Amino acid sequence: MPVRGERALTRYIKHPAASTANPLSNGWALDAGTAILLDSNIHHLAEQATRPLVQSNGQGLLQTNTSYGAVFSNIIGLEQVDPTVLGWAVAQPWRAIPWDRNSATRFGPFHFIADHELASGATTIRPIKVELQATIHANVTTKKAFAAVTFTDAPPFHDPPFLFGETTFGGTGAQTASITLTSGAPVSRTSTVGPLRCRPDATLGSPRVEVVQGYLHIGWLLYGATAGASYIDGYSAWEVWS
């Protein structure tokens, strides 16, 4: 049985407005036909519960990098680092960029919902589709896009991400890179950075809630020996089921 429940129809069936004139009568049993429609409607809303996460214009003009080393230069703690030499970019591809503002943007925090079913029957956070729109200078020779989900506020360079994906832009000029982040590992509420305040006081319920909280990082690696100005134009991210 799917975690989001069965549906009689793959759509919502509108019902009369709830009111005291409801034809249901006190003390009478509910018939199964009405119950099936209620179930189906509720399950359909769960099926359609995926959420838009990010729609943002980009920050525009980027720092021009003419070498890979330049991507890591002038960052305190990361000066003169060459991840290629150290092998990071191969063994730990999320360390291929520093995830500073010249190479990435973080979005969130988000409260992720762990109702995506795995083959094992366990659940994990919903898959996330990411699109990065850029205008890439004609002389850029290395042009990659990255996306990652972390459960702490540290960038992926320092905190191995829960989800990670990368792709290569198809060319130069106006380009869009698409990445789908999907987990094969279950997640629970223990993978959080702490409870969130959810009520102003405790009169009607707990004032704090534990959720799967994290950030979505979207990054890029753009450089070329004679490269000129490139731009980050926009970001989109949304939840899907597959």
Partner 1 sequence: MAGFGVPTRPEPAQLDRLAVGRAVSARHGRHWNDELTFLLAHNVHPVVNAIFNDSGAHTVKVAYNRPPGVQVLLVEYELAYGADESTLALSTFTVTASSGTVTPLDDNGFLDGSAEIQTDSSAKLNRSIFRGFLDVTGLTVGTTVDLIFTYANVSIDPEGPGLYRLSVMEVPLADVSPVDDPATEVGLEGVWSDPRRAIVDGDTSTDEGFVRLFAMLDKARSQVRRYWQWVTSEDTTTGFAWRVTATAAGTTFPFSVSGTARVFKSKARHLYTTTSMQPETTQIRIRYNNSGIGCTLRCVVTPVGGAAVNTDVSLPNAAASWATVTAELLLPTSGTGQEFTIEFQSWNSGAGTTYVSQVAIISNES
Within positions 163 to 182, which residues make up the interface with partner 1, using CB under 8 A?
A: 174, 176
Rounded Cα–Cα distance for residues 89 and 147 (Å): 15
The angle subtended at Cα 61 by Cα 96 and Cα 238, nearest 5°, is 65
The two beta strands, 123-124 and 104-112, are unpaired
Q: With contacts defined by CB under 8 A, name the span among 89-97, 139-147, 163-171, 203-211 that binds partner 1.
A: 203-211
Out of 43, 95, 143, 217, name the contact with partner 1 by CB under 8 A. Answer: 43
Residue 138 touches partner 1, criterion: CB under 8 A: no
Rounded Cα–Cα distance for residues 118 and 217 (Å): 24
Out of 141, 153, 168, 185, name the contact with partner 1 by CB under 8 A. Answer: 153
Q: Which is nearer to partner 1, 68 or 107 (CB)?
A: 107
Rounded Cα–Cα distance for residues 193 and 26 (Å): 47
What would the two tokens of residue 158 be? 């320092």
Binding mask 18-37 for partner 1 (x = CB under 8 A): xxx-x-xxxxxxxxxx-xx-
What would the two tokens of residue 236 be? 């989109």
226 close to 98: Cβ distance less than 8 angstroms = no
Supply the minimum distance, in Å, between the C-beta of residue 200 and partner 1.
Answer: 4
Q: Which is nearer to partner 1, 135 or 167 (CB)?
A: 135
Residue 122 touches partner 1, criterion: CB under 8 A: no
Out of 99, 162, 169, 223, name the contact with partner 1 by CB under 8 A. Answer: 99
Residue 113 touches partner 1, criterion: CB under 8 A: yes
Residue 46 touches partner 1, criterion: CB under 8 A: yes
Contacts of 208 (CB under 8 A, 6+ apart): 195, 196, 197, 198
Out of 93, 106, 159, 166, name the contact with partner 1 by CB under 8 A. Answer: 106
Binding mask 56-75 for partner 1 (x = CB under 8 A): xxxxxx------------xx
Rounded Cα–Cα distance for residues 100 and 17 (Å): 52
Q: With contacts defined by CB under 8 A, name the span among 45-53, 82-90, 143-151, 219-227 that binds partner 1.
A: 45-53
Rounded Cα–Cα distance for residues 36 and 6 (Å): 10
What phi and psi, each to the nearest 5 degrees, are found at residue 135?
Answer: -115, 110
Residue 17 touches partner 1, criterion: CB under 8 A: yes
Out of 97, 161, 224, 239, name the contact with partner 1 by CB under 8 A. Answer: 239
Q: Coil, helix or strand for 149?
A: strand
Residue 88 touches partner 1, criterion: CB under 8 A: no
Residue 84 touches partner 1, criterion: CB under 8 A: no
Supply the minimum distance, in Å, between the C-beta of residue 220 and partner 1.
Answer: 14
DSSP state of 84: H
